[in-house]
Chains A and B, each alone.
Chain A
Amino acid sequence: MNYVITKNNKTLSFVLMGVGILSIVYGFATDSLRAWGSLLMSNFYVMAIALAGVFFLAVQYVAEVGWSVQIKRVLMAMGTYLPYAGGFLILIFAVGHHDLYFWTHHEYYDKASPEYDRLLDGKHAFLNMPFYIARLVLYAGIWSYFALMLRKESLKEDIVGGVINYKKSVKLSAIFLVLFAVSSSTSAWDILMSIDAHWFSTLFGWYIFAGMFVSGLTVIAMLVIYLKRSGYLPNVNDSHIHDLGKFMFAFSIFWTYLWFSQFMLIWYANLPEEVAYYAFRQDHFKAIFVLNFLINFFCPFLILMTRDSKRIKGLILFIGSIMLIGHWLDVYLIVMPGVVGEHAKIGITEIGTTCFFAGLFLYVFFNSLSKAPLVPKNHPMLGESLHHQI
């Protein structure tokens, strides 16, 4: 059975994209710095969700998981957004790098200039234009390639049958996971940490990965529930939803763990070069700083704690929406204070720009979801998923 795109899906994604384009235009007309920051953070936020889908898919293959077979096509459809996200990533940097990243300014590397910056010069071997652009292209290329290849193998499996394509997918996933382990960290340094180019944190890559994975899992759970409610995926039962809820719960705590580990060490050691990042955010964005921690930890922790709550679809949708807002604030707090400074606000520009990327994501997602059967036909572990019970 294939997914059939409804009129509402199309209207929703086009309205979101339309609102987004208007907001981007409005942003550039009023305050271009905010518009660039919004573009960077929104693209990263939505890209992270798609990337988490592919990561989750690869984990399912490598761990030879049975229960998730029915939702694998959802993960694959999420992955097809990555080429677009990668394109935007490179485009936004290529055009907006001067506004977004101060390390791209030439005067910091000129010893004769009064602006000469010894710290940035020391990082020049890593943070320079050709190498940086090469890395961005590499990330976009690797992620998109594996996302599309895994989908291709699975679609071939539908026709050919047997386990050849499955074994190939396991191999592809294993290679992807190794590359992702490195690229998730380095891409976090490149895309987000280099906004505050003087600052550094060794935990940053993991912290970004945790945020990425938990927002991705939330979107997976919400999309599966949406499909289930629209009458698709008839064999997805409460146990599948329960498992997805467990993932959301566990990785919210994992995110908190990394968020706190990074924060506490810097807070305790109190070294000026490290503390600058948090001091600036606490001085000017205290409310968002506290809110970020509260809604990303306490809401999922207390609400998703019991077994019953993970099996109520409406509750997962509700807490999922809160968590998505929470992790949007998290990305906001990483990007905007660095790009815009103390005058960063949350307004039409920021929310609208995210709407654009969310609309595009939904459009690409539903489009590729409708092009293949919703459940893999010849997956060797399909039976286990159909009768999943915990």
Chain B
Amino acid sequence: MSKQIFAIFNDEDVLMKSIKPLRGTGVNIKNVFSPFPIHGLDTELGLARTRISICSFIYGLTGLSLAILMTWYMMISDWPMDIGGKPNFSYYKNIPAFVPVLFESTVLCAAHGMVITFYLRSKLLPGVTAFVPDVRMTDDRFVMQVELEDAATEAEVTAVLMKHGAEEVKEYGK
């Protein structure tokens, strides 16, 4: 893995304005950490669109299928019951009664699946040390992660970052 350095900014406007010229000079910006969402930052960074919505759709379909299987097995196949004068011998005639279950199961699987996927993808698991280049990024500073092509250019890149408004440039955890 090539070396990473972190530029710390005091103001999100300065950070936003610095992204374009920095990329123009060949600085490889990997990520930006911020205490709050900055409008238009993902388009400025040119990040790829999240694929979590596709996951969510698949999880939802899974939940729906599981719930159909469950209601069919429990209420129709294994132990049909006469509830409110509606004998459960066919699935489609009783489907309105199952819709709340199907809906809830779809939502449950989609929501939990998304949260778990997000945690896995961001490497946030119980017992794992979180990736925090600088603790102030959870409070009032904005941190830009920059990847160096080769270690020789470090001083050069640092100078460019400082020129474009960075408060300080540091290495991970120092």
Please list the residues of chain A having a beta carbon within 8 angstroms of any beta carbon in chain B: 260, 263-264, 267-270, 305-307, 389
Contacts and interface: CB of A to CB of B under 8 A. Distances in A.
A270 B85 CA distance: 9
Contact of B97 (A264, A305, A307, A389): A264
B147 to A, nearest CB: 28
B99 A264 contact: yes
Nearest to A269: B84
Q: Which 7 A-B pairs have the closest CB atoms?
A: A264-B96, A267-B96, A389-B40, A268-B84, A268-B97, A270-B84, A260-B99
Contact of B39 (A260, A267, A307, A389): A389
6 contacts: A260-B99, A263-B96, A264-B99, A268-B86, A307-B49, A389-B40
A269 B85 CA distance: 10
Contacts of A269: 84
A268 B93 CA distance: 12
Given A268-B84, A270-B84, A389-B43, 11 more contacts: A263-B96, A264-B100, A267-B96, A268-B86, A269-B84, A270-B85, A270-B86, A305-B57, A306-B53, A307-B53, A389-B40
A270 B40 CA distance: 54
Given A389-B39, A389-B40, A268 B53 contact: no
Interface in B92-106: 96-97, 99-100
A389 B39 CA distance: 8
Interface string B37-53: 00110010000010001
Interface string B52-70: 0100010000000000000
A227 to B, nearest CB: 26
A268 B96 contact: yes
A267 B94 CA distance: 10
Contacts of B85: 270
A384 to B, nearest CB: 11
A263 B49 CA distance: 39
B65 to A, nearest CB: 16
A307 B97 CA distance: 32
Nearest to B39: A389
A188 to B, nearest CB: 23
Interface in B27-45: 39-40, 43
Nearest to A389: B40
Interface in B72-94: 84-86
Contacts of A306: 53
Contacts of B99: 260, 264
Interface string B148-169: 0000000000000000000000
A363 B85 CA distance: 54
A305 B43 CA distance: 22
A57 B40 CA distance: 27
A104 B154 CA distance: 88
A195 B113 CA distance: 47
